């Protein structure tokens, strides 16, 4: 089965699936086949018992990986039908808005980034403020190229999930921090690199360096993904973008994915619930 999983991995690569998706699907398949020899109704039922202790979302992800591989085997004529059926998956109530940080926490974090001394202060400010004011992903930051930046128009062209190109619009704050960084970028060892953000050791910033930058400010709650969530939620709370506009800026394939940001933050719901008085 290992050869078929490797063949399936190449198939996913050709389908322009993200590296994270490919990695998790292959890992889930390897886990399944350490416990079972084949995909069948019986093995699926027994596997659900094997992973019963996991969260519903983790179970559904593993089943999705098996179903996708099942479909691949069916396409090759190596299996006669789809063995996973709809009722195998666990129905999960919408988790609502995924934003788990407050505007005050974001404001405090950005103040720290602005004021703390760092050898790469201007670069770090540009990275953090760009994420905070556009909601772009960590991997998209590392892949930004000079040729895709139009400062005059305030636009960034980038390649997102599934190798989909989109244009992200920049506000004045994002433009200014990028300008400040570009003034000192020429002093970097690899200033001739095609990538916007550099390190002293490489022509391209690694994703782990982005994590290190965020962790260096001592606030584990505010990360790349939480800033992305906060930006998306803030555009809805302040009536800045329509839902289709938000979908375009975030690079979501489905508008329903963007729609979760129209729900109130959990923190705001808690405040309202705390003000509720019944029978008192």
Catalytically active residues, by annotation: 137, 161, 225, 228, 252, 261
- Taking CA atoms, 258 is separated from 57, 175, 178, 241, 254, in Å, by 19, 25, 27, 11, 7
CA 205 to chain centre: 17
- Contact (Cβ atoms closer than 8 angstroms) between residue 163 and residue 16: yes
CA–CA dist 144, 106 (Å, integer): 24
CA–CA dist 68, 33 (Å, integer): 15
Geometric angle at alpha carbon 189, from 154 and 146, rounded to 5°:
20
CB-CB neighbours of 153 under 10 Å: 11
Of 119, 117, 170, 105, the C-alpha closest to 144 is 170
CA–CA dist 274, 252 (Å, integer): 34
DSSP element (H, E) containing 149: strand 149-150
- Contact (Cβ atoms closer than 8 angstroms) between residue 78 and residue 34: no
Edge to edge, the sheet with strand 165-169 lists 149-150, 155-159, 165-169
């Amino acid at each position: 089965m290992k050869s078929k999983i490797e063949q399936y991995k190449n198939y996913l690569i050709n389908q322009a699936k993200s590296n994270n998706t490919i990695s998790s699907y292959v890992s889930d398949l390897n886990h399944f086949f350490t416990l079972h020899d084949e995909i069948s109704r019986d093995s699926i039922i027994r596997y659900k018992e094997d992973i019963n202790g996991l969260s519903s979302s983790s179970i559904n992800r593993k089943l999705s990986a098996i179903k996708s591989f099942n479909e691949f085997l069916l396409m090759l004529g190596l299996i006669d039908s789809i063995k996973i059926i709809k009722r195998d998956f666990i129905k999960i109530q919408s988790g609502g808005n995924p934003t788990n940080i407050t505007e005050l926490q974001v404001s405090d974090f950005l103040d720290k980034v602005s004021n703390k001394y760092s050898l790469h202060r201007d670069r770090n400010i540009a990275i953090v403020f760009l994420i905070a004011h556009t909601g772009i992903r960590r991997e998209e930051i590392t892949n930004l190229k000079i040729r895709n930046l139009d400062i005059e128009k305030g636009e960034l062209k980038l390649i997102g999930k599934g190798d989909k190109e989109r244009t992200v619009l920049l506000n004045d704050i994002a433009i200014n921090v990028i300008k400040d960084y570009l003034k000192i970028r020429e002093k970097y060892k690899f200033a001739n690199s095609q990538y916007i953000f550099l390190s002293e050791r490489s022509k391209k910033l690694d994703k782990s360096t982005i994590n290190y930058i965020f962790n260096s400010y001592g606030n584990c709650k505010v990360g790349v993904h939480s800033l992305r969530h906060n930006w998306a939620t803030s555009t809805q709370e302040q009536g800045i973008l329509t839902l289709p506009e938000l979908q375009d800026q975030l690079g979501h394939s489905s508008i329903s994915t963007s729609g979760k940001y129209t729900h109130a933050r959990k923190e705001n719901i808690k405040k309202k619930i705390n003000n509720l008085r019944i029978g008192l």
